[in-house]
Structure 1
Amino acid sequence: MKIPRIAIIDSGISSDQKDSVYKINVLGKCRSHIDKIGHGSVIAQIIKNYSPNVLIRCIKITDDDEIQEEFLCQALKLLLDDLDVDIVNISMGIVVSEMLDEISDLCLQLRSKGVVIVSAFDNDGAMSYPAALPFVIGVDTSHRCKLINQYEFVQSDIINLRAFSEVLHIKIGNKVFSVSGTSYACAIMTAKVAELLYSGNVDAANILHKLEEDAAYVFEKKEYEDVPEMPNINKAIIFPFNKEMNALLANQDLLNFEVVDIFDPVQLGNIGRRLSDILIGDMEKDFSIKNIFKADWSLDFDGVILGHTREISETLNFDFKDYIVKQCIKYNKILYSFDNVIAPKELTYYVPQVLDINVPNNRFGKLYQVHCPVLGVFGTSSKQGKFSLQLKLRRQFLNSNYKLSQIGTEPSSLLFGMDAVYPSGYDGIIPKKSQDSILVLNDILNKIVVADTDIALVGAQSGANVYSCQNISLFPLETFNLLLATQPDAILLCVNTYDDDEYIYRTIMILENMINTYVIALVVSPVAHKYIDSGLSRQTFQEEKSKVKNFMKHLEEQFKKKVFMLDFEDDTSDIFEYCIKTLGEGSIGDDL
């Protein structure tokens, strides 16, 4: 039988263990193989205790419990050059990785050479690397595993094993170490892998299959699909003319398609009106609103942007969504619908939604931590211009050549080129359970933040304060879900001129105490709203600037924070520059 060789990448070994290893490497800033914290020594002893026939190679990369990615990469490169081991044990994890691509590539190369890598997940429950890589056996703990040889198998590309979580008493020389956690569970599972290889009945290629066979319990993989991508649209018409469409028309330079016409039902009184007479600010292209029943569907536009139609359909007793769907099928147009659509196969369409099947499973609550700063836009209520602020910031970041990753919560988000949409607003189709919302939002954020991302931008829909506990519908649960899932490093808080000091203070405290974040500035919305036509239409007007400025001065004195006004005619460069300056100071946003 071949004796398995195991490389332990850790904090070294004790002087009592030096003669029990066949090779020692000291990397990074370390000067000696001697283990100063006892971690690597215990890992080596556990492996020897439960797989006594193995040969151990010690690669020391740290003198404390912190792991530096560059030294881990050095160790992996060394093993790749030598190729003298069968198993690599990494009983440590990186939660925020800036060298993930390199670590992933090195682990994949080792695995392709037949080397089995066993790595521990973070002890605090976070997603960590290299354990979370699909070609690494990732080890977590389970309180259900009360015996040392018990473990659970997870059918997943991320978490593979959940093992012994109780206290181990390990003797090294004259000392006894009492330890518990994922690091030591990882060592136990490394010993298990070594014993399987030593038996000669299993090789590296089918080790996971054998581990699944021997497991005390198997968590089966559930059905899962990635959130689908939207089809490409070049030219589109818009229907109806409502609040959601206002953002599209006021920010046409950010759209990833060309708007060619705008339509509305004749009963709403908008036919013939020009956008420039209705919307605040300059527009790239002005339009006259037209009657939807007089649209020429034979023109060369290839897409239709269909906003929410439930209310106008109920009020006017006509199914506008069904009409648009039939026209799209007849004239071979792509449909982007804010509302859900049940349509025949011949219709090419996209609905911004996140379904239960899109929620990651078998994650056991583990969340990703991204490497770049996250900026959040939150508010004290709904209808404050939070999405408008996000669009203005998006324009500033892109024009300043920052690599921006962005999640939008409006159904129109993808039309502006944002990386992902989570439509948590009006009639949005998203998971009902908060835990599922947090998992999928966190997973989305991790997927869109790539190696060269400079900053991520997220924004909430409603307020972040509980102003009444009389009904569950009044709790801003989706705002809290977004906050917990994305964990912004800094927050811009939108406030209204009618918000009192106590309410603003409580909102700040909720945000800053729920997670480790800081409200860096307040942004005052100068816009008031007046509803007409039984709530179907809305007129907006700006408060007097003198009133807004007096309120801003009061807020600065009261909260000792920077205060800005959200001016729809301004480019908001002052807010953008302050965000860059603030994120560039201290521990967050070093790249900025």
Structure 2
Amino acid sequence: MKIVVLDGGCYSFHSQNRNRIVRINLPNYNCESKTSSMNHGSAVTKIIDNYVQESTIISVQVFDDNQTIRARNLASSIKKSINEFHPDIINISMGTRSDRDGELKQAVNYAVDQKVILVCAADNSGAISYPAFYRNTISVVCNHRVKRIKSFNVVYNNWIDILAYSGHFSVEINKNQDWLIGSSFSTPVITAIISSIWSEKLVRQGNFIVKIKKIMSQMQHSNGSFNLKYHNIANDLLTSKDRAIFLPLNKEIFTIMNNSDFVVPHIISIYDYHTSSKIGKTTADIGYTSYVPKQVIQDMRGIDWESKDFNSVVLGHVKEISLLLKKDLLSEIIEKCNKYKKKFMHWI
């Protein structure tokens, strides 16, 4: 098993599981700075080392202290690492907010052609990030309902594939003990789990990413605290012929609307909860450069579910609002959609 970690580089350390650790800390490997703290990359590499055995883990420095990289450089790093190291899996615990030229998409497709699995961290906030957004990757986001490190839940009909551990990781980095949290550090655990089910026969099959998800759904370590009604939602496929209302007005909804390549349904209305200060304002009024700047934000209590003006609902995160309103808003909206025959897409 050979795993490449595209990250911030790695400090030298001794493997606890007889893994071979290879460090490629070269500034000219698409890294735009000659300096890197290497803390992030070291943590990701050590987490993988904790959960795999007798493998080769190649840590490649591709970003600097700011933990940023351009889409073009990341795409180039993916291709270069495949050609140079011939890995089975590439862990990418970072991403970019755009892929305007489609170079990351090309790199993802190249990885699939070469039978390489890309395991990518999604943005902690739920915003679209690349390459995790592309369907030929395994995209991972930490979720507060996953309480154990090796627990996870497989998601279908969403660009997010895996809900992973959201707690703290205790990692020794350069002789200091750090406590870390986030999708960046949940992702290497999923990489390790995928390495345990990898086989040459598996990746030689067509659409092997789908098959990996199927295997993981059969073996998933659910900690028993999942509300299946909440997580096992079959999102409807929305098309340009659909007319949708969007709610509530949070950053997930803004992300969807501001990514015109992702927004497929026509946006009919935008709603927010009744105590929001945004009610009655337009998206332009509150300082967002939105896909629909002239839309007036309405009180979600006024949704006319019998209206023929919309046939779909796009729902963002509602946990905080549910706590505020002291009711299960997600279940309520699902019931409304079922009753009035509305299509439904939930942004997990």
TM-score normalized by the length of structure 2 = 0.65
Asked if 1 retains the 8 angstrom alpha-carbon contact of 2:244 and 2:265, the reply is no
Unaligned runs of 5+ in 1: 230-352, 373-404, 408-418, 425-430, 436-454, 467-471, 475-484, 486-592
Asked if 2 retains the 8 angstrom alpha-carbon contact of 1:167 and 1:180, the reply is yes
Q: CA offsets per residue over residues 64-85 of structure 1, 9 Å max, x none?
A: 2222222212211203433610
Asked if 1 retains the 8 angstrom alpha-carbon contact of 2:76 and 2:107, the reply is no
CA distance in 1, matches of 2:292, 2:4: 42
Deviation at 1:30, TM superposition (A): 5.0
Q: CA offsets per residue over residues 58-101 of structure 1, 9 Å max, x none?
A: 221111222222221221120343361000000012123434x1
Indicate the residue corresponding to 2:216 in structure 1. Answer: 211
Question: What SS does structure 1 have at the residue aligned with 2:195?
Answer: helix
CA distance in 1, matches of 2:60, 2:256: 28
Indicate the residue corresponding to 1:21 in structure 2. Answer: 21
Identical amino acids, percent of aligned pairs? 22
Question: What SS does structure 1 have at the residue aligned with 2:234?
Answer: coil
Asked if 2 retains the 8 angstrom alpha-carbon contact of 1:354 and 1:422, the reply is yes
**2:153 counterpart letter in structure 1:** E
CA distance in 1, matches of 2:190, 2:155: 14
Q: CA offsets per residue over residues 139-162 of structure 1, 9 Å max, x none?
A: 001111111111111013510001
Indicate the residue corresponding to 2:122 in structure 1. Answer: 121
Question: What SS does structure 2 have at the residue aligned with 1:170?
Answer: strand
Residue 460 in 1 paired to residue 294 in 2?
yes
Deviation at 1:17, TM superposition (A): 6.0
Indicate the residue corresponding to 1:90 in structure 2. Answer: 92
Q: Label 1:24 to 1:369 Cα distance change in 2 as closer, same or farther (>3 A).
A: farther
Q: Label 1:473 to 1:159 Cα distance change in 2 as closer, same or farther (>3 A).
A: closer
Q: Label 1:201 to 1:423 Cα distance change in 2 as closer, same or farther (>3 A).
A: closer
Indicate the residue corresponding to 1:78 in structure 2. Answer: 80
Q: What number of residue pairs does the alignment pair up? A: 267
1:11 equivalent among 8, 11, 26: 8
CA distance in 2, matches of 1:184, 1:461: 38
Deviation at 1:457, TM superposition (A): 5.9
Residue 224 in 1 paired to residue 226 in 2?
no
Q: CA offsets per residue over residues 511-551 of structure 1, 9 Å max, x none?
A: xxxxxxxxxxxxxxxxxxxxxxxxxxxxxxxxxxxxxxxxx
CA distance in 2, matches of 1:55, 1:434: 50
Indicate the residue corresponding to 1:234 in structure 2. Answer: none
CA distance in 2, matches of 1:226, 1:465: 23
Asked if 2 retains the 8 angstrom alpha-carbon contact of 1:131 and 1:138, the reply is yes
CA distance in 1, matches of 2:160, 2:181: 19
Asked if 1 retains the 8 angstrom alpha-carbon contact of 2:257 and 2:291, the reply is no
**2:87 counterpart letter in structure 1:** V
Question: What SS does structure 1 have at the residue aligned with 2:13?
Answer: helix
Question: What SS does structure 2 have at the residue aligned with 1:131?
Answer: coil
Deviation at 1:458, TM superposition (A): 3.0
Residue 167 in 1 paired to residue 168 in 2?
yes
Superposed, 1:325-336 pairs within 5 Å as: none
Deviation at 1:172, TM superposition (A): 3.8
CA distance in 2, matches of 1:178, 1:79: 29
Q: Label 1:150 to 1:366 Cα distance change in 2 as closer, same or farther (>3 A).
A: farther
**1:11 counterpart letter in structure 2:** G
CA distance in 2, matches of 1:457, 1:30: 32
Superposed, 1:469-548 pairs within 5 Å as: none
Asked if 2 retains the 8 angstrom alpha-carbon contact of 1:54 and 1:194, the reply is no
Q: CA offsets per residue over residues 285-313 of structure 1, 9 Å max, x none?
A: xxxxxxxxxxxxxxxxxxxxxxxxxxxxx
Residue 367 in 1 paired to residue 242 in 2?
no
**2:152 counterpart letter in structure 1:** Y
CA distance in 2, matches of 1:369, 1:103: 21
Q: Label 1:157 to 1:172 Cα distance change in 2 as closer, same or farther (>3 A).
A: same
Question: What SS does structure 1 have at the residue aligned with 2:58?
Answer: strand
Question: What SS does structure 1 have at the residue aligned with 2:135?
Answer: coil
**1:88 counterpart letter in structure 2:** I
Deviation at 1:22, TM superposition (A): 3.5
Question: What SS does structure 2 have at the residue aligned with 1:139?
Answer: strand
Deviation at 1:456, TM superposition (A): 7.6
Asked if 2 retains the 8 angstrom alpha-carbon contact of 1:7 and 1:58, the reply is yes
Q: Which has the higher contact order (CA 8 A, sep 6+)?
A: 2
Residue 354 in 1 paired to residue 230 in 2?
no
CA distance in 1, matches of 2:302, 2:256: 29
Q: Label 1:203 to 1:459 Cα distance change in 2 as closer, same or farther (>3 A).
A: closer
**1:51 counterpart letter in structure 2:** V
Larger Rg: 1
Superposed, 1:425-440 pairs within 5 Å as: 434=272
Q: CA offsets per residue over residues 340-359 of structure 1, 9 Å max, x none?
A: xxxxxxxxxxxxx6258x99
Superposed, 1:241-260 pairs within 5 Å as: none
Question: What SS does structure 2 have at the residue aligned with 1:422?
Answer: strand
Q: CA offsets per residue over residues 97-116 of structure 1, 9 Å max, x none?
A: 434x1101111111122111
Q: Label 1:94 to 1:461 Cα distance change in 2 as closer, same or farther (>3 A).
A: closer
Deviation at 1:420, TM superposition (A): 7.0
